[in-house]
Amino acid sequence: MHHARQHAETRTRERRRRLAHEAARLMAEGGIRDYHQAKLKAANRLGIHDDASLPRNREIEDALREYQRLFVGGSQRDALRVRREAALRALEFFAGFDPRLVGPVLEGTADGNSPIALQLYADDAEAVARFIEEHRIPAHARSRHLRLDRAREGDFPVWVFSAEDLSFDLTVLPEDALRQAPLSGMDERPMKRASAAQLRHLLAEEEIAGYESAP
């Protein structure tokens, strides 16, 4: 009985691993941005339909990181570096709104299609709209549903625009949300985020690592 249960658990674990890697491949090669969509498409392709075998979003992200390290290499690293450097310029440009970098560009899973996602903090969301208008940035207004913490959630203004041939995605949050990052839709934990100073430090560390690994 114990042996049968152990065998079933091992099989479920193996299915989860296969699904996570297939979902990661679909995201890397097919440009799918949504973890849930990638997970369901992978399950369909592999013919695995039991819920226990569905991997968590974080498992897919880990598999995506591994896939990019093994198969994408230099081109993905270049795309990531370009986006992080552009993100730093954007953080400096929007300095008046205590901006933070979030998402794949910070996490290290960005590719050539990933937008640069920033969170700006202002109690007067229109102040961001006025700033964008004053600088003649042709941005499109949208909204995004986020959970600020376990008790608060809502729809927040988003501005989307292109600059330097890159896509930027700005979410405007109330100033008190600066104390704790909003909850990630991936695992319900506070999002990883970085200020300009933190991103500058990350870029410097990467440059040093690059020199050290050079032949």
Q: Which domains does the chain have, with CATH numbers?
A: 2-72 (no CATH), 74-213 (3.30.460)
3-state secondary structure the chain: CHHHHHHHHHHHHHHHHHHHHHHHHHHHHHCCCCHHHHHHHHHHHHCCCCHHHCCCHHHHHHHHHHHHHHHHCHHHHHHHHHHHHHHHHHHHHCHHHCCEEECHHHHCCCCCCCCEEEEEECCCHHHHHHHHHHCCCCCEEEEEEEECCCCCEEEEEEEEEEECCEEEEEEEECHHHHCCCCECCCCCCECCCECHHHHHHHHHHHHHHHHHHCC
Digitized pLDDT (tens) for each residue of the chain, 215 residues in all: 566 777 777 888 888 888 888 888 887 777 777 778 888 888 888 888 777 778 888 888 888 777 776 766 566 678 888 999 999 999 999 999 999 999 989 988 887 778 999 999 999 999 999 999 999 999 999 999 999 988 889 999 999 999 989 999 999 999 999 998 898 877 788 899 999 999 999 999 877 765 555 45
